[in-house]
């Protein structure tokens, strides 16, 4: 940024105009890598215990995709998302009045609940081929490469279910508080929803986000590397309010156990300090409407900054206790294998992390010229203070613009102008949060954590822009 800020405003304006006028088109990442038949093959291979099947599944898929790329970048210059102007001149999109400018459109409430345009049908959350054996104990990833701002549309929120999802009848749903409380209580949804509520924007990230890349590059696009990440406005009652109503012993009660109502018996210990701060919510609202069934309808715990597994869905019980519960999903699962062979438990907080979403893996830069580098940054410890972006694999860094709002424990959008000269480039982003913590490089992370961890990979992501414009997931040592 230094070179630009040395210019006067007028000069800067000219320079920006010059940049914007230079062509810089992005071909979207192919969002559907495998046919359903391919997915079945991958699952079958996974069942036979064949190693490296995820990597090979994607390799096979990208061969198919490469053929697709060649087809759309054929000499006519046709662009997958474009509508080219004929070379003989005269753009029919301007010269001929389209039907929508002359006819009668559709009536109100044709859709009682509106849907996205049919032209956006390819924008989907997707399952990673080969990652899991069933769809009920599985993950779908949010299409980060195609989202704007910081809010994830509810229908594209990532999903993580251990035993499938349910659409639970809210009139029959009950929420219980017991343990170290004077008056154990059972609430109906009506009783919860009449209490004073708050609405707050927060990210949720599964502790296993970016897990498959711990050892080496495994998956091709940002949807699969970072898509167990979403951000919503959640509405609900602070858990502390409900604990006070039940007369909880807040002096000796140092932890609570949160329990879900689905078959996975999801149970997690939450430290009382997060609750007395007022941050933890018993939420029913998401982005202005009720939670979606996939995300825990009618009630879920919101634990800002903490890994997704603690955000218990279909929340049915909170027990107050004086020590951690060592539940299965914190004693056996969701633990971090350290280089010395010890397991680390109760790693709750999602450390500061960021990722560039454009340009990102699977996209193709079709021209030299101006590009808006954009991405997301977040920290489980508070607000994002700064994001730096490198286009040369970490040798030089420029400070990105943080777009408002910059909220605590929420996604923050960053942008940076870039002119691609057509040479190979390695794009990275490095975030810093308000505590001063800086997102680590892979080497720094592995020096401390080794290579056999699954959870809490917050390393700097690298995307290689090749001379032919194709963007690849790479790791820089």
Ligand X SMILES: Nc1nc2c(c(=O)[nH]1)N[C@H]1C(S)=C(S)[C@@H](COP(=O)(O)O)O[C@H]1N2
Q: Would you count residue 206 as binding Mo ion (CB under 5 A)?
A: yes
Is the CB of residue 127 less than 8 Å from the CB of residue 34?
no
- Name the minimum Å distance from CB 206 to ligand X: 3
Cα angle 248, 249, 252 (rounded to 5 degrees) comes to 145
* Cα separation, 226 vs 158, whole angstroms: 10
Q: Which of residues 292-311 bind ligand X (CB under 6 A)?
A: 294-295, 308-309, 311
Q: Which of residues 129-168 bind ligand X (CB under 6 A)?
A: 157-162
Return the number of the residue (264 or 363) whose C-beta is nearest ligand X: 264
Q: Which residue of 126, 157, 160, 446 would you call a contact of Mo ion, by CB under 5 A?
A: 160
- Name the minimum Å distance from CB 253 to ligand X: 22
Three-state secondary structure call for residue 223: helix
Give the residue ranges of DSSP H helices in 6-148: 9-21, 36-47, 53-72, 92-95, 99-102
Q: Which of residues 195-254 bind ligand X (CB under 6 A)?
A: 204, 206
Which of the ranges 202-210, 422-430, 443-451, 467-475 carries the binding residues for Mo ion, by CB under 5 A?
A: 202-210
HSE-CB at 149 with a 13 A cutoff on CA atoms is 10
Q: Would you count residue 226 as binding Mo ion (CB under 5 A)?
A: no
- Name the minimum Å distance from CB 31 to ligand X: 19
DSSP state of 322: S
Return the number of the residue (235 or 390) whose C-beta is nearest ligand X: 235
Cα angle 339, 345, 350 (rounded to 5 degrees) comes to 90
Q: Is 1 exposed, middle or buried (0-12, 13-18, 19+ CB in 10 A)?
A: middle
Q: Which helix (H) or strand (E) holds 398?
A: strand 398-399
Q: Would you count residue 264 as binding ligand X (CB under 6 A)?
A: yes
Q: Would you count residue 262 as binding ligand X (CB under 6 A)?
A: yes
- Name the minimum Å distance from CB 312 to ligand X: 5
Token output for 380: 């489980």
Query: Cis peptide before 62, with omega less than 30 degrees from 0?
Result: no
Return the number of the residue (202 or 413) whose C-beta is nearest ligand X: 202
Q: Would you count residue 362 as binding ligand X (CB under 6 A)?
A: no
Q: Which of residues 269-328 bind Mo ion (CB under 5 A)?
A: 308-309
Contact footprint for ligand X (CB under 6 A): 157-162, 204, 206, 260, 262, 264, 266, 294-295, 308-309, 311-314
Contact footprint for Mo ion (CB under 5 A): 160, 206, 308-309
């Amino acid at each position: 940024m230094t070179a630009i800020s040395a210019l006067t405003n007028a000069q800067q304006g000219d320079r920006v105009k010059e940049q914007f006028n230079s062509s810089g088109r992005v071909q979207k990442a192919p969002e559907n890598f495998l046919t359903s038949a391919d997915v079945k093959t991958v699952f079958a291979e996974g069942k036979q215990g064949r190693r490296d099947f995820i990597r090979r599944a994607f390799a096979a898929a990208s061969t198919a995709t490469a053929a697709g790329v060649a087809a759309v970048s054929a000499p006519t210059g046709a662009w997958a998302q474009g509508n080219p102007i004929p070379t003989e001149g005269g753009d029919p999109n301007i010269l001929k009045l389209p039907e929508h400018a002359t006819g009668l459109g559709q009536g109100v409430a044709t859709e009682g609940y509106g849907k996205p345009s049919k032209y956006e049908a390819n924008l989907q959350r997707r399952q990673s081929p080969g990652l899991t054996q069933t769809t009920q104990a599985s993950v779908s990833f949010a299409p980060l490469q195609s989202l704007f701002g910081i809010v994830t549309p509810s229908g594209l929120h990532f999903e993580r279910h251990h035993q499938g999802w349910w659409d639970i009848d809210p009139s029959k749903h009950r929420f219980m508080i017991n343990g170290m409380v004077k008056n154990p209580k059972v609430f109906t949804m009506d009783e919860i929803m009449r209490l004073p509520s708050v609405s707050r924007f927060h990210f949720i990230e599964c502790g296993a986000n970016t897990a498959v890349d711990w050892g080496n590059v495994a998956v091709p696009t940002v949807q699969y590397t970072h898509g167990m990440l979403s951000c919503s406005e959640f509405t609900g009652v602070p858990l502390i309010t409900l604990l006070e109503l039940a007369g909880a012993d807040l002096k000796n009660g140092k932890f609570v156990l949160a329990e879900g109502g689905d078959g996975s018996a999801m149970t997690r210990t939450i430290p009382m300090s997060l609750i007395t701060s007022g941050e933890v919510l018993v939420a029913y609202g998401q982005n202005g409407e009720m939670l979606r069934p996939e995300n825990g309808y009618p009630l879920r715990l919101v634990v800002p900054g903490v890994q997704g597994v603690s955000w218990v869905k279909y929340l049915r019980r909170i027990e107050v206790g004086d020590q951690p519960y060592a539940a299965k999903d914190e004693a056996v699962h969701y633990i971090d294998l350290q280089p010395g062979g010890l397991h680390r438990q109760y790693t709750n907080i999602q450390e500061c992390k960021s990722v560039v979403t454009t340009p990102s893996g699977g996209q193709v830069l079709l021209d030299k010229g101006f590009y808006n580098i954009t991405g997301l940054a977040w920290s489980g410890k508070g607000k994002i203070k700064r994001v730096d972006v490198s286009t040369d694999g970490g040798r030089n860094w420029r400070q990105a613009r943080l777009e408002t709002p910059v909220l605590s424990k929420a996604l923050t959008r960053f942008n940076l102008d870039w002119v691609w000269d057509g040479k190979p480039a390695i794009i990275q982003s490095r975030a810093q949060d308000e505590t001063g913590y800086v997102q680590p490089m892979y080497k720094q992370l592995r020096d401390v954590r080794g290579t056999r961890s699954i959870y809490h990979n917050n390393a700097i992501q690298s995307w290689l822009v090749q001379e032919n414009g194709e963007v690849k997931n790479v790791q820089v040592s």
